[in-house]
Structure 1
Amino acid sequence: MMKRLTRLIILLIFILGWPSFCYARDDSIDWTPEELAFMAEHPVIRLGVDPKFVPFEFFDEDGTYQGITSDYLEIISEKTGLDMDVIEGLTWTEAYEKALNGEVDMLPAISRTPAREQNFLFSEPYYYFKRVIVVRDSTQGINSIEDLYGQTVAVQRNSSHQGYLEQYPQINLSLYDSAEAAVTAVANGTETVCVGNLATSNYIIQSTGLTNLKYVAFEAENQQGLYFAVRKDWPELIGIMNKALATITKEERIAINSKWIGVDVEPNYEPVYQVVMVVSGVIITIWLVSIYWILRLRREIDKRKKIQRDLEIAKQEAEAANNIKSSFLARMSHEIRTPLNAITGMAYLVKKTQVTLTQKMYLDRITQSANTMLSIINDILDFSKIEAGKIELERVSFNLDLVIQDVINIVSYKIEEQRIGFKLSKDPKIPNCYFGDAKRIEQILLNLINNATKFTNAGEVSLDIRLVARESNFYHLAFTVRDTGIGMSDEQIKNLFEPFAQGDASINRRFGGTGLGLSIVKSLVEMMNGEIQVYSTAGEGSTFIVELSLEKDQQKEQEYQQQVSSLYFNDIKTLVLEKTGSNMNIIDSYLGAFGMHCELTTSSISAVNMLELENGKFSEPFDLLILDYDTPAGGGFKFIEMIQDNKKIVKKPKVIMLLPMMREDLFDQLDTQGVDIGIGKPIIPSVLYNGILEIFRTKAIVANQAFKQEDIDKEILEHHYGILVVEDNKTNQLIAKSLLEPVGFRVWLGNDGQEGIDLFKAHRSAIDLILMDLHMPVLNGYEAAEQIRALSADIPIVAMTADVIEGVKEKCESCGIHHYISKPFDPEQFVETISKIVSAETRRKTEPELQIDEQKNTDTDDAMVLDREEGLRYMGNNKSLYESVLEAYFNENQEVSENLDLDIKNGRYPEAAQTVHKVKSSSGSIGAKQLFEIAKALQKALEGGDEKEIASLHPQFTEAMKQLLATIKSG
């Protein structure tokens, strides 16, 4: 009967509505003049739709736009005369992005949220739906949103349900591109539960025959509305849509709903007499069963109270268990890391003594094994943090090349051990400076490269870094790790990212490992809103692609680019001799990014001919030779010796030699073999860049000078700093003392927290820093630090701890410990870190006096044309370099004033602005503050065409330039 009524209503609507089809617009609606003008000006409205949002909007098998929303739009189109043009071929995410960018005018089926209200105008709701939980028939114990805490819930990406669930941090989300994919994942057991709306879920279940699912209703009083969302600058369209919606009758709405909805999500329009009969029957029976229901309700209340008490007890037990687990992890970490520190430290100290090559190899193996064990511990701790949802990502500025260099330094030992090749390629146009978590990016790359190396017995492993896309200040980078190893089957790939799982049992037996690395990688990548893909063929190798979006550090990158642009690398004539074409192309791209032009060859004979001017085609000699050690027959050193003895090469070039991995012995021979700089392969852009800078110091500005060991030793010997080491482990005491005393530190040793306090009281004036272990008898590190802080608010206290779990850093801060060194530590880095802290503390204590002196200097120098002290600071306090730059500035700017006069006189303001901009940049770099300020103001006036300002500032610029050049000339 219901089906007949539905067909009758649809037929009546069609017959009654036929006359309106003949008109472009329903003029019975009270349109405003602005709305009429809008419809005339915008006859076509571009729609962005969700292609799989059944039954509201979707494309059927024939590619026709269908659904509840489609039917509403058809009626609205008839009433307004507007052509609703659906843009095809878009996913929901793409449609939403285009709407944000103004490439789509309206999203016709969207829920309203506070975040979306900032970008769109919303119509009145035209449909309401209920949110439900979908589970398998066999699933029990899920009755409310709270039952989903701690679980992973499948949900459609960028849907209102995702935004709703993100309000509950206790729930983990598994995002799918469509609601159908999320529901299907629950049906086939991939997921346990998903959240969606009742209408869509029911339509999917009925159309796909998924009979093993059920719904769980929750928040029954809350219904979600469906709206038309319009671009912000079209308020007239919202008025038009609302007026058209208001004319759609109740019967039309029922007909549309009945056509698409197969479950009772709307009021049940059964015949009236059936309703009366049911209600009457209920009224008659209520008084017979009322006592029964009252008693049952009381029992239910008692039962729920008991469940609530049990849940509270279970919660307390879970929290206690979690605390026990955290405490165990902390103790386990500390107990394992402490002996590891002794192993690596003692191995380092032994290598400093007279040992044979065989003994050195054994010590390297010990260190490598200790590092492997440390890696396993870190994997377990990281997995535990990820599982508990307590891992946090940092957002700090970092240099990508330094991250890559650290990764290569760590993996090079294993690559050399496997006797395979390693190739690195990085697009030189990619910026170097970003904001993000550098340590986690390093961890991702280390896991992938270590994995690739482990499963590759022949061939090579490669790391390729490329730019995928750029959005404003965000760069989408692809890190691709390829290997020529054993590869994987489809079944192995399917389980690849599961924790504690290897490809199969044989893999685990042959290669070892916890099986946590790739699971952690996937979790970290997803936490960074990235994506990881894997492609592999058994026996042919594997490829992992990690795509991450990183925000560029605009300030540091700009400083770096300014330094590069101010260099004179284009004057350095370069010859590259490299045996492989791929490496040669990489070097060529790096040099091109530095503004250098080079000649390339794979033949040593050809290289010699090019260096011999009379035999070659070149009229000028080469300044630089970049040479692969393995390229010439007999090795690179023999080739250099041949060049040195060749009388036809009138000018011997500077030499950069590219050395194989793990050949530290070759670095020791560079000076005696006539090589200026040695660079280990694979080549990292910034390392090559710094090598060229090192050779041609007089032609370039050296930036970011390293903190050198000899500088550390000199400063320590001058100040004779005192260090108090509070540590209960005798081996760690010995290691710390053996590392610190040889470079000039004085060391006191305390066996526990109380001894540390007593030693500090006795030698307070001589102690400059305290190294504090956290777990000790009598008084632990926290308690000792609190008592020392009561004696001194300034003394630096460094936690020397093996604890790496959540909360340790915060607890240290609360006790006055503001520095950390994690055990086991790298010995050289340990000494460098301690030196930096005490040096910084010494400078801080004398800073007020320095600031007074600097202020006096500034007051005196303000009237000067050239602030040489400031210019020297820009040059890293390299006086000879500064003088060279001043000389270059003097020669370059002799004709600037004359050229600027001509440009301004002839009205060529853009060319004049460019000239002033160049002078402004270089003047600031040498400390010419007066000219810099005038140039800045003149450039702005030239760009704006302000002739009055130009007339005023131009003479000032000319006079300031004249004074500056005279000052430079006078020395």
Structure 2
Amino acid sequence: MDISTFKERVNGLPVLRTLYLLLSLILFCLAISYWVILSTDNQQFRAWFSIASGITILLLCYVLIRQVKNALKPNKVRKTEEQSPGLDKLHQMLEFKNKELSRLAQELIKEQEIRESSEKAKQIFLVNISHEIRTPMNGIMGFAKLLEESLIDEDHHESLQMIIKSADQLMAILNDILDFSRLEAGDINFQNLPFALKDTVHSIYRMMEHGAKCKDLDFSYEIPDTLPEVLSGDALRLGQILLNLTSNAIKFTEKGKVKISLKLITEQEDQISIAFKVHDTGIGIPMNKQQSVFDFFEQVTSDTSRRYAGTGLGLSIAKRLVELQGGEVALESVVGEGSDFYFTMDFGKVTDEVKAEMLKTRCRLQQPVIQNGKGIKVLIVEDNPINQLLVIKVLENQGYEITVAGNGRIALEAYEKQSFDIILMDLQMPELDGYETTRIIRKMGGERGEIPIVAMTAHTIKGELEKCVSIGMNDYISKPFNASELYQKIEIIIEKARSGIVTLNKH
């Protein structure tokens, strides 16, 4: 221990008093002994007094030495007392940090709740706006197509085609916005079902054929014979990718051609890899823009955006859909000469039994629909008057016997009074919606509880088909609907019901 520490301890009041007292006693004993020895003549008394004084002085010296040693030893109590202010300060800092972390955690939880609430509100808004747009669009497109079949005047027919084309463009924009929202939220699921590859490509060709003809483009597709007829995968998403790339190619091509071509890359025992290419002779894309065109809301230039319009979502959605399925997207382009968009995807192979069943169904669906609904009673449950009138006209043209109910409660009353062969059920209705109406019907006994029910709705959100099937509906058709698709669904479902095949169509 250093001198300064010793001085600090010795200067403490209790230790100092003890040392002074001991020194004073020792000095007092020495003085008394010296005085007694000098003042007495008795040798024996001197001797005994000297011994007693010496022992007392020795004891005092011993106690003094002990006190000094204690002063020199580390004082744990004092050390603890000296350290306690530092520990208190440390405890205070830790307590402050804990409170701060707790406050930050609460703020993060609140921010997360706000984000989730905002995301939920956005999804609800998109679902509602989609439903509200699709409902009137169903009437616009449906009645326009009905008129198209009956118009003879060429000018009127052309004007009506422009109405249909504009409506199709609006639906494409709406679908892009919904797909963007789903991709942003990670709310995309992919199916793995058998499908005919040629049918998927041909359907895209038919959808875009009219647009290509209007611009006098040479539009074609090529599928090599080496590719299997039936594969396993998500035909809907494949069609969406091809549609986005093909519509983009036709939009930016003023003359020349657009071609869809497929090529086998690798083939394994249970899997096959295919390369798809969409070629055009359009305006082309500069090298410094070839990556950014795949970004959301991106077009080549502001002039391009003004001239060709569009949301700037088509290519980005196609790219995300390919990549989410494990594929890759590439682009080759020369300004003024055209562009080639490539993407590769893997598909599963199917057994011979699945292939035979798929081709059999495909052959049947390709046959002309027998446009004769005589003797078939249809209950239409729909609250929108325009859509009521549209479905009535579409089905009455085929001879179906129609009964209309404005909501689920009216539908149940009508179903109690008479029997029907099939029910076309809207989902969003006042008083009693389509979901609850279907549940009530399915609880009925006997054949009345097994009547085929097809959902007809403007709702296209994820899981809607699965929800309809889970409550007992037989199929699902979205608005705006295609008349031929509706005829085929009614025909197939009624035939299954009459033959006693009670199965739910999940496709």
Q: Same fold (TM over 0.5)?
A: yes
Please name the residue that 1:353 is paired with: 150
Q: CA shift at 1:422, angstroms?
A: 1.9
Distance 1:366 1:703 in 2: 32
Distance 1:799 1:447 in 2: 27
**Is residue 461 of structure 1 aligned with residue 114 of structure 2?**
no
Alignment of 1:437-516 (within 5 A): 437-516=234-313
Q: CA shift at 1:361, angstroms?
A: 1.6
C-alpha contact (below 8 Å) 2:369/2:484 kept by paired residues: no
Could you list the per-position Cα deviations for residues 73-95 of structure 1 after superposition, in whole angstroms to 9, with x for gaps in the alignment? xxxxxxxxxxxxxxxxxxxxxxx
Q: CA shift at 1:494, angstroms?
A: 2.6
Change (3 A) 1:478 1:846: closer
Letter in 2 for 1:501: E
Q: SS in structure 2 opposite 1:704?
A: helix
Could you list the per-position Cα deviations for residues 412-461 of structure 1 after superposition, in whole angstroms to 9, with x for gaps in the alignment? 01111111112322221111211000011011111111111111111111
Letter in 1 for 2:215: Q
Gaps of 5+ in 1: 1-284, 564-700, 848-971
Please name the residue that 1:800 is paired with: 456
Distance 1:549 1:403 in 2: 16
Change (3 A) 1:314 1:395: same
Greater alpha carbon shift after TM alignment, 467-476 vs 438-447: 467-476
C-alpha contact (below 8 Å) 1:394/1:437 kept by paired residues: yes
Please name the residue that 1:838 is paired with: 494
Please name the residue that 1:536 is paired with: 333
**Is residue 746 of structure 1 aligned with residue 415 of structure 2?**
no
Please name the residue that 1:774 is paired with: 427
Change (3 A) 1:708 1:466: closer
Distance 1:409 1:338 in 2: 25
Please name the residue that 1:400 is paired with: 197
Runs of 4+ in 1 over 6 A off after TM superposition: 285-288
C-alpha contact (below 8 Å) 1:739/1:831 kept by paired residues: no
**TM-score normalized with structure 1 length:** 0.41
**Is residue 787 of structure 1 aligned with residue 440 of structure 2?**
yes
Change (3 A) 1:420 1:436: same
Considering Cα pairs closer than 8 Å and 6+ residues apart, tell me whether 1 or 2 has the greater RCO.
2
C-alpha contact (below 8 Å) 2:427/2:457 kept by paired residues: yes
C-alpha contact (below 8 Å) 1:712/1:835 kept by paired residues: no
Please name the residue that 1:292 is paired with: 89
Q: SS in structure 1 opposite 2:397?
A: helix
Change (3 A) 1:771 1:710: closer
Q: SS in structure 2 opposite 1:544?
A: strand
C-alpha contact (below 8 Å) 1:398/1:433 kept by paired residues: yes
Q: CA shift at 1:781, angstroms?
A: 1.9
C-alpha contact (below 8 Å) 1:799/1:821 kept by paired residues: yes
Please name the residue that 1:384 is paired with: 181
Please name the residue that 1:725 is paired with: 380
Gaps of 5+ in 2: 1-81
Q: SS in structure 2 opposite 1:398?
A: strand
Distance 1:534 1:755 in 2: 56
Distance 2:253 2:196 in 1: 29
Which of 311, 315, 323 lines up with 1:518 in the alignment?
315
**Is residue 323 of structure 1 aligned with residue 125 of structure 2?**
no
Letter in 2 for 1:825: F
Distance 1:363 1:727 in 2: 26
Q: SS in structure 1 opposite 2:261?
A: strand
Distance 2:416 2:244 in 1: 47
Q: CA shift at 1:325, angstroms?
A: 1.7
Distance 1:335 1:313 in 2: 32
Which one has a larger percent helix, Structure 1 or Structure 2?
A: 2
**Is residue 737 of structure 1 aligned with residue 392 of structure 2?**
yes
Distance 2:469 2:116 in 1: 25
Letter in 2 for 1:377: L
Alignment of 1:553-568 (within 5 A): 553-555=350-352, 559=356
Q: SS in structure 1 opposite 2:258?
A: strand
Could you list the per-position Cα deviations for residues 270-323 of structure 1 after superposition, in whole angstroms to 9, with x for gaps in the alignment? xxxxxxxxxxxxxxx987743322211111111222222222222333232222
Change (3 A) 1:557 1:782: closer
Distance 2:151 2:417 in 1: 38
**Is residue 821 of structure 1 aligned with residue 474 of structure 2?**
no
**Is residue 757 of structure 1 aligned with residue 412 of structure 2?**
yes
Letter in 2 for 1:783: E
C-alpha contact (below 8 Å) 1:799/1:817 kept by paired residues: yes
C-alpha contact (below 8 Å) 1:725/1:748 kept by paired residues: yes
Distance 2:166 2:405 in 1: 30
C-alpha contact (below 8 Å) 1:432/1:557 kept by paired residues: no
Aligned identity (percent) is: 33
Q: CA shift at 1:703, angstroms?
A: 8.6
Larger radius of gyration: 2
C-alpha contact (below 8 Å) 1:531/1:548 kept by paired residues: yes
Letter in 1 for 2:287: D
C-alpha contact (below 8 Å) 2:205/2:221 kept by paired residues: no
Could you list the per-position Cα deviations for residues 677-709 of structure 1 after superposition, in whole angstroms to 9, with x for gaps in the alignment? xxxxxxxxxxxxxxxxxxxxxxxx999344634
Which of 164, 170, 191 lines up with 1:367 in the alignment?
164
